Structure 1
Amino acid sequence: MIKKIITIPLISIIALSACGNPDSKKDITSSLSKIDSSSVTLEKESPSSSNIDTSTFKSIFKTSVFLGDSITDGLHDLDVLDQENVVSGIGKSIGDAQKNIEQVANQKPKNIFILLGLCNLSETKESAVTQYSQLIQKIKEKLPDTKINILSITPVTSERTQKEERYKNINDFNEGFKMLAKKEQVNFIDLSPIFKNNTDLHVKDGIHFKPEFYPIWLEYLKNQLK
């Protein structure tokens, strides 16, 4: 098998800074390096300890769109997915994402995976849930047959939480998003199992992720398409 090496150009590293955080560019630049993505393993209930073939993801998620912030940016920055399947941006909040609905609708996706909320943590949970509800309603209007998947906010390291109190709200926000998903009859995907057996996925800033996170993430989501 030919091994695929994933590298990140400087412009992509800069694009990964979260919510306007000035520390992110420096931390990510110093932490990311080349990796052999074909050797990444997923240690979770399903699948367990299997090699991940990243070459299949572009075809598997060909009819999906990922809507998110700088965490989601890595999917096309690392060439894991094609750019048209990723609608993301630095510091994108739930409210900001409403401006991207036309762009998403033009793709006519069968599935939409939404990873937002990290940049809303300074607000109240009620405000974030209201904005999410508005976003979902607009997506339903444009794409009534599309399966909507709300992804839980990804965790940050304990060191990062000590630096910024707002990250203590992640679990509370995720509970709010889970309840909203039930109310709106859309799918909620808890990403926390990814991190139970993969404890070293964060880069130095404690928010963003090393390149090996992305194939693990997509392998986890792949089962949601079945």
Structure 2
Amino acid sequence: MNPSLWRRLLAEFIGTALLVTAVVGSGIMAGTLSPGDVGVQLLENSVATALALGALILTFGPVSGAHFNPVVSAADWLLGRATGTGLSARDLGAYVVAQTAGAIGGSMLAGLMFQLPAVAFSTKARTGGHLWLGEVVATAGLLLLIFALARSGRAAVAPAAVGAYIGAAYWFTSSTSFANPAVTVGRAFTDTFAGIAPASVPGFVAAQIVGLIVATGLLHLLYPSAGTAADDVTVSRAEPQPVKEHQQ
């Protein structure tokens, strides 16, 4: 049985907030430690984000599935329709609200930790077809990974695999792999290394939705029964069995 909705929403809110705190905070620290060297800053930012994401999935996965991402939740809902699994439409809407609110809160928290304004809208424009294509690739690849792991019974390795994918996608996509509408919105609230101008947000979110459509289509072709595993995305919610003591 899944935990109650309020517990899952709290986990999604806190998890997404801490994820954005890691993204923004490590970007600020990278700018402080490696001023003028964008390549090193990106390395520091990507490593911190990948490690934090893996840890957060381990922490909150057993409660909410550790989506932290509206496109993951939307894919969970879409793929589960045929089999009666995954999120309901009501839960999907609630997840998206909790994730987006958490992302904004996480950006504000990062700013306050580094003695910066809680809200300073980014001036960093990120627009253009090449960046939107990068977001399509990053988002589709992330969803394929998550649901392929769940469908093949390997959801337990999702923390390491998802963290590794996001860390790598920072480097192999032109957009540095936001791949997350909630995180994209949250990053608009910080005028630091990780920021994105509010005017650039709609283009990124639209590209992420396209990535969602591409990924669900490919999952139907590659894993026709992927929806049966929607309840296990991204970490199995089954309660652990108590360890039995060895009989003497």
Report if TM-score (shorter chain) is over 0.5. Answer: no
**Larger radius of gyration between Structure 1 and Structure 2:** 2
Looking at secondary structure, tell me which structure has more helix per residue. 2
Looking at secondary structure, tell me which structure has more strand per residue. 1
TM-score, normalization by structure 2: 0.27
TM-score, normalization by structure 1: 0.29
